[in-house]
Homo-oligomer: A and B are copies of this chain.
């Protein structure tokens, strides 16, 4: 079966079903009309602006905006509207390296359709068709996608760390990969994901890294978020991705990117061009945030 199966698990969302979310004149997100109506009950924090929802322009600095957002989310959480609270602050930016326009609780990011960043590690042993790829089975207690297959290491990108620093931290917590080994991981590019999840609208840019692990290395989870690890021959990985939906969605897409970059899926696959195109759909922000 075609690897497009993985992409078809989520259609690209219909952005007409959302209202733009504007901060400091910048289009940074998307909110459902229902949520927009609720937010407009705080007229000192949110205004309606030409069809869009905007953070009130009187909130002119990042600390003021972040405080107003925190108070808002606290109230929404009390109403049960922000499930899976993390106590983790995410930056809202128009560019990855720019100072944030505000920071907000990670669990609310999909409710506001804000771009989130993450890191993934493709950890493998061997080369060519003899390659095996380490995959993780997510713990039954995870709030998102319990029991599903996942990358050996992956995580959201918090404030204050570079992607590489974050990767090294996650390598330690999730798989017991020592910093000296994790530091040999190679940045290999970006995959973009746009999909509607139970948490809301996920718009992600994931920084991906490859790491060839020693044959005698065995990952050890340290944070309780992984039920176990498995070393999967690459041909079996491809077979699973073609026939099953047992990988969590974003991990499956990042696996496809890995398989393409390493030549396991190439021009001989009739869907090759569609697969490649699916790895980086254009970001739905206006004006385009990431342009050459």
- CB neighbours (8 Å) of A268 from chain B are 162, 164
CA distance A72 to B72 in the complex (A): 66
- CB neighbours (8 Å) of A273 from chain B are 95-96, 190, 205, 290
Which stretch, A18-26, A36-44, A218-226, A259-267, touches the partner chain B?
Answer: A259-267
Q: Taking chain A's interface residues, is the majority helix, strand, or loop, or is none over half, making it mixed?
A: mixed
Within 8 Å of chain B (Cβ to Cβ): is A207? Answer: yes
Within 8 Å of chain B (Cβ to Cβ): is A292? Answer: yes
| Interface size classification for chain A | 35 or more
CA distance A190 to B276 in the complex (A): 7
Smallest distance from the beta carbon of A46 to chain B beta carbons, Å? 28
Minimal Cβ-Cβ distance residue in B for A7: B292
- CB neighbours (8 Å) of A274 from chain B are 290-292
- CB neighbours (8 Å) of A7 from chain B are 292
* Inter-subunit contact B292/A207 (CB<8 Å): no
CA distance A290 to B263 in the complex (A): 20
Which stretch, A60-68, A74-82, A133-141, A181-189, touches the partner chain B?
Answer: A181-189
* Inter-subunit contact A96/B187 (CB<8 Å): no
User: Beyond A189-B261, A190-B276, A280-B280: 15 further Cβ-contacts under 8 Å?
Assistant: A4-B292, A12-B292, A96-B267, A96-B273, A162-B268, A164-B267, A187-B260, A187-B266, A188-B260, A188-B261, A188-B262, A189-B276, A207-B267, A278-B292, A282-B282
